[in-house]
């Protein structure tokens, strides 16, 4: 497979995943804003959303941190490379640059998403009915993944698509937790406090994991449980452990397919063992923030190693 | 004017079943089908963008639902004529890059060839595989009467439009399954396989295995990008850009996730000037540095060969009937349109005196740009154009305004005749192959004779009826 094509596939799926994660983040902000104020006038949910999005630097400091302004920035801003509009534009541009490497169904899913988003009704919807727009974005991601899952050859192209998805997802889950880590810290938690409880559940909600969490831990919203679910639980589809497991599998598949193994493989295995062998207690003892920062650094370096190993930048 | 569908108030035979069906269905059904077709095109992303107009880089080319239909007999004549031309043009190309017999014989003037901008000195003495230069010849045919076909021009470089031939048919089969099951319409779907066979047959001398074929595109911003990706996909070969290829130790390689992979045959959709910055335009970033050296030493095949354009130049065009007689010893099956060469003083005088009745074209132009359609022009336009001709007569040719045949077409006011032309795609390799079909282009504006998609022309499916 052409290196440029692999590069495009990798980024294509990253952008689709990113658009969806942006939508989930906004969903979290929206839900938090529906909560009665904690009493001290602390209404910082949209500031949290912005910082968890990873694109706070581009936000005009003069602008108020309210729903209308923040969502406009995260959905439509052309200068924000991670805005949902740009994510879809970039995903489609990547797809168009290698039309032959994806199936007609995948192309149609992406093409329709962008066409609809550019068309006025969807545009207006994003401004008037945020929850419905968020559902629409999630549906586009699901359509694309579904089309991918049911139509594409299970060759190296599929591996690069999946690598992009899980690198992006792990990155997002880690950043989401990092922004909210203070509400999960045991010492700041007041058991039974309605607002905190609600904040924790919104973290799960932003990861679309609230229902799944119930099935595993019932109503035990302790910080340990929540952090465990999103970091170490291999059954949770957005946990770091699950993402890295998938990354390791796909790298392994590539190694067998190409008959070549490199530093990138040992790097992935190293992160994987770190996640399978850690206990939540240790992580909290070392510092959740430090743990997450370390993870983000490792995942960034893994992403570069993938690019290098498969010659994304030419050879 | 010849109407493809009607003759003496009667529906011509090949159109009868279609007309019956249209009448039985009624206008609402047809209108509905039109909308469905447009949605399909947009969804699949079949687009064509126009240079220099800005705006939407992924414009849709207008697609007309009413097919253009040829009988088996009409097709046989076109087929024989097109194959004959493709053979003569390739023989001419081999000749001008070798002994130039046709020039020595005094049939084609030396200046017209050797001073032609499309003549490529770097090709002199090179023997391309199977002596083929132009592997895909698009011959533009117009019709003026029941049995009168003329060739308007030849396209020997990289004629585009074949993806429309294939996609139009796909759409038509989805729209009108009952017509396809009832009528015997020759299929066109084998074109990509035939193209692949053709490309495989021109593997370079040094290739000692199943050749690795690629399609080379200038990239997603090119107006014909959809076609490039479509053809690569249909053939199951990689679609590459210049940056994906490099030359090493006398061979061409592409950059893959597993390291370099050798490339043997390049179907390039990039102009000559851009394919190798070391040999042609040094500022080109679309091409592959060193490609021509590999080509010269038989390490790679390039389709079409650089310099093939000298055969489809509008000034050379006038000599194609002579080529057919000279190389093949045959009479041309398809006629040329009578042409005045402004380089010739008598012709120039005639052209300037009759601008209002003629179509004047730039010799090197293409895509319908920079031409004057006499009957549709104002006196001022004619005067301005006359000055351009006088400034450089060698650059212009003129032809009578042909009464192009018209085919019923959906327009604002209903169904009305609009002028059409026809481009079949002839493949030349180990054999000469021609898919029974082609691209029918239609001038959507009433009375207009300009069918180019860059000038607002549309397309139709073309049906060749089986015997």
Which one has a higher pLDDT value, B370 or B331?
A: B331
A158 pLDDT higher than 60: yes
Same domain, residue pair B387 and B423: no
> Does B42 contact chain A (CB < 8 Å)?
yes
pLDDT value of position A165: 97
Q: Is residue B417 part of a domain?
A: yes
> Does B221 contact chain A (CB < 8 Å)?
no
Contact B219 A111 (CB under 8 A): no
Closest CA relative to residue A314, chosen from B135, B205, B96, B253: B253
Tens digit of each residue's pLDDT (9 = 90 or more) over A12-66 = 999 999 999 999 889 888 887 777 654 444 567 788 888 888 888 899 999 988 8
A269 pLDDT higher than 90: yes
Provide the residue range defining the domain that includes B293.
Answer: 205-299
Question: In this complex, how many residue pairs, one in chain A and one in chain B, have their CB atoms less than 8 Å apart?
Answer: 63
Q: Is residue B323 part of a domain?
A: yes
Same domain, residue pair A160 and A296: yes
Same domain, residue pair A140 and A220: no
Same domain, residue pair A247 and A129: no
pLDDT value of position B55: 43
Domain end residue (candidates: B355, B374, B400): B400
What is the percentage of chain B residues whose pLDDT exceeds 90? 63
- Closest-CA residue in chain B for A6? B257
pLDDT value of position B50: 40
A191 pLDDT higher than 50: no
> Does A100 contact chain B (CB < 8 Å)?
yes
Q: Min CA distance, B191 vs chain A (Å)?
A: 18
Same domain, residue pair B85 and B148: yes
pLDDT value of position B325: 97
Lowest average pLDDT, out of B58-72, B199-213, B268-282, B418-432, goes to B58-72
Tens digit of each residue's pLDDT (9 = 90 or more) over A74-120 = 999 999 999 999 999 999 999 988 888 898 899 989 988 998 998 87
Count structural domains, chain A.
2
> Does A158 contact chain B (CB < 8 Å)?
no
Closest CA relative to residue A10, chosen from A234, A191, A250: A250
Q: Is residue B70 part of a domain?
A: yes
Same domain, residue pair B42 and B144: yes
Contact B257 A258 (CB under 8 A): yes
B466 pLDDT higher than 60: yes
What residues pair up with B11 in beta bridges, in sequence order? B6
Residue B50 token pair:
């126009």
* Burial group, residue B425, by CB count within 10 angstroms (0-12, 13-18, 19+): buried
Residue A154 token pair:
């299970």
> Does A152 contact chain B (CB < 8 Å)?
no
Point out the residue among B43, B225, B255 whose CB comes nearest to the CB of A108: B43
Q: Min CA distance, A254 vs chain B (Å)?
A: 10
Q: How confident is the model at residue A178 (pLDDT cuts 50, 70, 90)?
A: confident
Write a three-state SS string for chain B.
CCECCEECCEECHHHHHHHHHHHHHCHHHHHHHHHHHHHHHHHHCCCCCCCCCCCCCCCCCCEEEEEEEECHHHHHHHHHHHHHHHHHHHHHHHHHCCCCHHHHCCCCCHHHHHCCCCCCHHHCCCCCHHHCCCCEEEEEEEEEECCEEEEEEEECCCCCCHHHHHHHHHHHHHHCHHHHHHCCECCCCCHHHHHHHHHHHCCCCCCCCCCCEEEECCCCCCCCHHHHHHHHHHHCCEEECHHHEEEECCEEEEEEECEEEEECEEEECCCHHHCCCCCCCCCCCCCCCCHHHHHHCCCCEEECCCCHHHHCCHHHHCCHHHHHHHHHCCCCCCEECCCEECCCHHHHHHHHHCHHHEEEEECCCCCCCCCEEHHHCCHHHHHHHHHHHHHCHHHEEEEECCCCCEEEEEECCEEEEEEEEEECEEEECCCEEECCCCEEEECCCCCCCCCCHHHCCEEEEEEEECC
Same domain, residue pair A11 and A141: yes
Count structural domains, chain B.
3
Q: What is the mean pLDDT of chain A?
A: 87
**Looking at residue B233, which CATH number applies to its domain?**
3.40.50.11290
Same domain, residue pair B370 and B275: no
What is the percentage of chain B residues whose pLDDT exceeds 70? 94
> Does B205 contact chain A (CB < 8 Å)?
no
Same domain, residue pair A72 and A110: yes
Same domain, residue pair A247 and A279: yes
Tens digit of each residue's pLDDT (9 = 90 or more) over B395-405 = 898 999 888 89
> Does A4 contact chain B (CB < 8 Å)?
yes
Q: Which residues of A67-84 are buried (b: 16+ CB within 10 A; e: fewer)?
A: beebbbbbbbbeebebbb
Same domain, residue pair A229 and A302: yes
Provide the residue range defining the domain that includes A56.
Answer: 1-151
Contact B257 A104 (CB under 8 A): no
> Does B44 contact chain A (CB < 8 Å)?
yes
Q: Min CA distance, A265 vs chain B (Å)?
A: 15
Tens digit of each residue's pLDDT (9 = 90 or more) over B385-433 = 999 999 989 889 899 988 889 999 988 778 889 999 999 999 999 999 9
CA distances from B264 to B254, B291, B387 (A): 10, 12, 49
Same domain, residue pair A135 and A165: no
Q: Is residue B53 part of a domain?
A: yes
Q: What is the mean pLDDT of residues B183-194?
A: 94
**ipTM of the modeled complex:** 0.80
Closest CA relative to residue A227, chosen from A182, A168, A273, A294: A182
Contact A96 B45 (CB under 8 A): yes
**How many CB atoms lie under 10 A from the CB of residue B413?**
7
pLDDT value of position B40: 79
Q: How confident is the model at residue B222 (pLDDT cuts 50, 70, 90)?
A: confident
Give this prediction's pTM: 0.84
Distance CA B352, CA A249 (A): 75
Contact B243 A107 (CB under 8 A): no
> Does B244 contact chain A (CB < 8 Å)?
yes
Domain end residue (candidates: A151, A171, A206): A151
Q: How confident is the model at residue B218 (pLDDT cuts 50, 70, 90)?
A: very high
Domain end residue (candidates: A127, A151, A175): A151
Q: Is residue B1 part of a domain?
A: no
């Amino acid at each position: 497979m052409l290196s440029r094509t692999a590069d495009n596939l990798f980024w294509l799926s990253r952008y689709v995943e990113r658009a969806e994660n942006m939508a989930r983040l906004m969903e979290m902000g929206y839900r938090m804003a529906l909560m009665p104020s904690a009493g001290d006038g602390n209404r910082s949910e949209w500031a949290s959303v912005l910082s968890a999005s990873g694109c706070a630097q581009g936000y005009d400091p003069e602008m108020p941190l309210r729903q209308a302004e923040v969502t406009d920035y995260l959905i439509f801003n052309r200068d924000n490379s991670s805005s949902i509009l740009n994510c879809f534009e970039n995903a489609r541009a990547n797809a168009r640059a290698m039309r032959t490497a994806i199936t007609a169904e995948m192309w149609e899913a992406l093409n329709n998403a962008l066409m609809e988003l550019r068309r006025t009704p969807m545009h207006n919807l994003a401004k008037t009915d945020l929850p419905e727009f968020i559902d629409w974005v999630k549906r586009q991601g699901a359509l694309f993944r579904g089309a991918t899952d049911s139509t594409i050859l299970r060759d190296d192209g599929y591996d690069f698509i999946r690598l992009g998805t899980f690198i992006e997802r792990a990155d997002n889950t880690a950043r989401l937790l990092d922004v909210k880590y203070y509400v999960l810290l045991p010492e700041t938690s007041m058991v039974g406090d309605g607002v905190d409880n609600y904040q924790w559940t919104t973290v799960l909600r932003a990861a679309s994991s609230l229902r799944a969490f119930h099935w595993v831990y019932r109503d035990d919203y302790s910080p340990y449980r929540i952090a465990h679910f999103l970091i170490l639980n291999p059954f949770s589809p957005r946990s770091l452990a699950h993402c890295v497991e998938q990354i390791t599998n796909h790298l392994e598949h590539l190694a067998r397919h190409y008959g070549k193994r490199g530093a990138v493989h040992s790097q992935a295995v190293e992160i994987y063992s770190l996640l399978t062998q850690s206990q939540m207690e240790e992580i909290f003892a070392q510092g959740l923030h430090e743990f997450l920062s370390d993870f983000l650094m490792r995942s960034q370096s893994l992403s570069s190693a993938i690019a290098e190993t498969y010659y994304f930048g030419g050879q | 004017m010849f109407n493809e569908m009607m003759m003496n108030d009667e529906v011509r035979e090949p159109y009868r079943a279609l007309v019956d069906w249209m009448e039985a269905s009624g206008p609402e059904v047809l209108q509905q089908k039109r909308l469905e077709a447009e949605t399909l095109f947009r969804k699949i992303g079949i687009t064509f963008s126009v240079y220099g107009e800005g705006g939407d880089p992924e414009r849709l080319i207008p697609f007309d639902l009413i097919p253009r239909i040829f009988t088996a007999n009409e097709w046989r004549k076109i087929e024989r004529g097109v194959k004959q031309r493709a053979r003569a043009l390739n023989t001419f190309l081999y000749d001008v890059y070798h002994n130039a017999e046709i020039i020595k014989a005094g049939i084609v003037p030396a200046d017209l060839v050797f001073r032609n901008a499309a003549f490529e000195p770097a090709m002199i003495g090179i023997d391309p595989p199977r002596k083929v230069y132009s592997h895909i010849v698009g011959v533009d045919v117009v019709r003026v009467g029941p049995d009168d076909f003329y060739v308007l021009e030849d396209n020997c470089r990289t004629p585009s439009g074949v993806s429309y031939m294939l996609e139009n048919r796909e759409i038509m089969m989805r729209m009108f399954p009952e017509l396809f099951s009832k009528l015997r319409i020759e299929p066109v779907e084998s074109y990509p396989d035939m193209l692949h066979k053709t490309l495989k047959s021109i593997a370079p001398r040094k290739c000692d295995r199943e050749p690795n074929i690629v399609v080379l595109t200038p990239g997603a911003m090119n107006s014909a990008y959809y076609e490039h990706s479509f053809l690569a996909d249909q053939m199951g070969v990689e679609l590459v850009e210049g940056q994906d290829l490099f030359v090493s130790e006398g061979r061409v390689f592409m950059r893959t996730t597993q390291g370099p992979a050798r490339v043997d045959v390049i179907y390039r959709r990039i102009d000559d000037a851009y394919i190798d910055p070391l040999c042609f335009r040094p500022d080109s970033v679309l091409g592959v540095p060193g490609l021509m050296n590999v080509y010269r030493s038989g390490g790679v095949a390039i389709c079409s060969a650089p310099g093939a354009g000298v055969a489809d130049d509008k000034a050379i065009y006038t000599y194609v009937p002579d080529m057919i007689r000279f190389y093949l010893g045959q009479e041309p099956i398809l006629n040329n349109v009578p042409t005045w060469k402004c380089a010739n003083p008598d012709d120039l005088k005639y052209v300037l005196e009759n601008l209002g009745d003629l179509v004047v074209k730039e010799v090197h132009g293409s895509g319908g740009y920079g031409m004057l359609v006499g009957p549709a022009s104002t006196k001022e336009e004619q005067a301005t154009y006359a000055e351009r001709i006088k400034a450089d007569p060698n650059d212009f040719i003129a032809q009578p305004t042909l009464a192009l045949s018209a085919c019923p077409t959906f327009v604002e006011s209903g169904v009305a005749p609009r002028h059409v032309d026809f481009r079949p795609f002839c493949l030349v390799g180990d054999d000469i192959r021609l898919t029974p079909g082609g691209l029918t282009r239609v001038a959507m504006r009433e009375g207009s004779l300009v069918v180019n998609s860059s000038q607002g022309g549309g397309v139709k499916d073309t049906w060749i009826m089986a015997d």
